[in-house]
Structure 1
Amino acid sequence: MNKSREIFESQSNSLILKYPQLSKSSLDGLPIVKGMLDIVDQNGKYWQTFEIEIHCTNSYPNRFPSVYEVSNKIPKIADWHMYEDTLACCIGIVPEEIIRCKNGIMLLDFYEEAVIPYFFNQTHRMVEGYYVNGEYEHGLAGILQYYTELFMNLNSEKVLGLLIKFLKNGDLGRTSQCFCGSREKMRKCHKSQYYTLMQIGRDNVKEHVSTIIHVLTKTR
């Protein structure tokens, strides 16, 4: 945790410098950034203000920090992309988070590219009744949705089968036969999906396969 804490504290300086409504603090000995987030659209229209906290985690910067909306404007339920057990904001879908954080993230980039859009999307739903940028399903179902879209909206059972075949194969080159079993060379078949799965990592894909099996079992 010490390394994560050092990186988080160091990176928070540039974030606060650009966004002076935020400030450093600590909670139970761990560094956090807290303050006010104004939602202003690209036309300069002010929508509303949230009070938020960003907490360092022991996996930062290789996973997202935890984000909390503490002004109690957003319902703390899954339908509003909130984790009901921790009350943290569900900022992104797990596979995308893993890819984005593979080489570490900068706190300022995370704030501008993930936190602000998340709260703008929430605001738009509050005012207009829907998310302006679309949405993934929450939690475990969102992981299944991610992989379904990765494989061009095949049905869930076929997606699960492809992920299992990926896990059974070793590392492949462009001229190798595709892991899907089509006998096509991978460069002409599921090349982009293969490299995305490799970025996510076999251990993570294996965990997500278990998640998908759980989701499918519940829906049968």
Structure 2
Amino acid sequence: MMLIEETAPAAEALPVAALRAHLRLGSGFQIADDNAETLALTGFLRAAIAAIEARTGKVLLTRRFRMQLDDWRDRLGQTLPLAPVQSVDGISIDDGGGTVTTLSPDSWRLLPDGQRPMILPTGIILPHVPRRGLVNITFTAGFGESWDQVPADLAQAVLLLATRYYEDRSLEGSRAAMPFGVSALIERWRQVRTLAGRGNREAR
């Protein structure tokens, strides 16, 4: 399985002002309101968001992804690796010989779920994938396009983690460990990951 992030959160959607205020309040730092400092804080926020999303499988700010599989995990239904999924924008099958078939939206449907959203066939099973073929699924996921749509505990976890990155920016390897307070905030959002593709060719 390959997961490609096709769009990134807009810089204006990131809580730079909130992080700057949090740093001044929590640590007594004098954070300059200049462009270089804003770029640095933006970088710490993006890193913190990426870390929280990797731990939880939840997309905080809405963006588009493309998932590539060599086979369905189960032809009765394909689990998507991220949540919440707002829409599945397209599914196509590449036969490996240069022919790409776009599946009709009438042949599948999205089953929304806070942990494991799924693509289900409207018929009996999902279409056959040739032995050397690939499935490409494009979908949009995220809680919303603005920061105030992110759940409060996840938003706070991002601010705490970005603050840690800022304070430890000169220390090598400081991003390896997740602070306890951050782990506690994200615990209820974590899920047991499942494989996104089966690749079970011998069963055909």
TM-score by length of 1: 0.25
Specify which structure has the higher proportion of helix.
1
Task: Select the structure with the greater relative contact order (CA < 8 A; seq sep ≥ 6).
Answer: 2
TM-score by length of 2: 0.26
